[in-house]
Amino acid sequence: MKEYISPHCRIQGCAGSEKCRNAVIDYDSILEDISLTAKKIEFPSYNSDVSENKILSHRLFSMSASFCPNACSRPQIADFGIIASSIVQVTDAGCTGCNACIESCREDAIRFPTPATPEIIREKCLHCGSCSSSCPSGTISVFKTGYRIFIGGMMGRHPMLAAELPHIYDRDTVIELFKICFEIYNDLFYSGLRFRNMILRYPEKLPISLREIFLTALNGESRIKSDTSKQQQTVTLSEENYK
């Protein structure tokens, strides 16, 4: 685990940020760049939770990066989390019918409507890239890599899993969104709220272009104990990782 702690932010990355065979993206300095971004953002000096320029650890803004969907660094409970992702595609290269892709997919997200014609079931795919790595013919290949973004995870009295924003984002957009979220957190730090509740209570702090996407994501999520299928799936994946 890689960790950077600035006076007001904790940034954690899973082992894949250095070396892990499951990492979807080869080494990427995104954590260093996010850490530098965080350091440049000024923190208001008026807060009672700040003593000798140090914020109590439970009040640090938490950022967590995992480099595959196993999510070892638990981005789902961070204020701002990311998971590296590969979007795979089916190409024209001839399929040998070896079934390696089906065997490598833990999500049951590949089917063959007709022999030698794979199809990715997008609703099930977690963008781990395993199928493309195992495909000997290039019939399934990586189309694009990037990051899924999660916002507003928190523990405490009313724990909530983070809400996932739609789409896969490139690293520059991830850093820009981190900066916007962290600035809002600093601005509203005095409220004592976690980032999720800041957004829900003061949505006007978000740029207009982000308001709907953030609020739709946050309002669509439910508490950890809820039994919606999406939430159960997320919890199960996280637990599986710690067995």
75 touches ligand SF4 (CB under 6 A): no
In 3D space, the residue among 24, 25, 34 whose CA is nearest the CA of residue 2 turns out to be 34
> φ and ψ at 186, to 5 degrees?
-65, -40
The Cα 43–Cα 185 span in angstroms is 10
Q: How far apart are CB 97 and ligand SF4 at their closest, in Å?
A: 5
In 3D space, the residue among 42, 32, 28, 29 whose CA is nearest the CA of residue 3 turns out to be 32
Exposed e or buried b per residue across 154-192, where buried means at least 16 C-beta atoms within 10 angstroms of its C-beta: beeeeebbbbbbeebbebeebbebbebbbebbbebbeee
147 touches ligand SF4 (CB under 6 A): no
Q: How far apart are CB 210 and ligand SF4 at their closest, in Å?
A: 27
Nearest CB to ligand SF4, comparing residues 129 and 152: 129
Residue where the block lists tokens 């990492």: 23
The Cα 73–Cα 65 span in angstroms is 6
**64, 76, 139, 238: which one binds ligand SF4 (CB under 6 A):** 139
34 touches ligand SF4 (CB under 6 A): no
96 touches ligand SF4 (CB under 6 A): yes
Nearest CB to ligand SF4, comparing residues 66 and 186: 66
Nearest CB to ligand SF4, comparing residues 122 and 157: 122
DSSP 205: G
Nearest CB to ligand SF4, comparing residues 35 and 66: 66
**20, 41, 175, 200: which one binds ligand SF4 (CB under 6 A):** 20
Q: Which residues, other chains included, contact 144 with Cβ-Cβ below 8 Å and sequence gap of 6+?
A: 86, 87, 168
**25, 125, 165, 199: which one binds ligand SF4 (CB under 6 A):** 125
Q: How far apart are CB 148 and ligand SF4 at their closest, in Å?
A: 12
76 touches ligand SF4 (CB under 6 A): no
Q: How far is CA 208 from the centre of its chain?
A: 22
16 touches ligand SF4 (CB under 6 A): yes
Q: How far is CA 68 from the centre of its chain?
A: 9
Interface positions with ligand SF4 (CB under 6 A): 14-16, 20, 22-23, 66-68, 70-72, 86, 88, 95-101, 104-105, 107, 109-110, 118, 120, 125-131, 134-137, 139-140
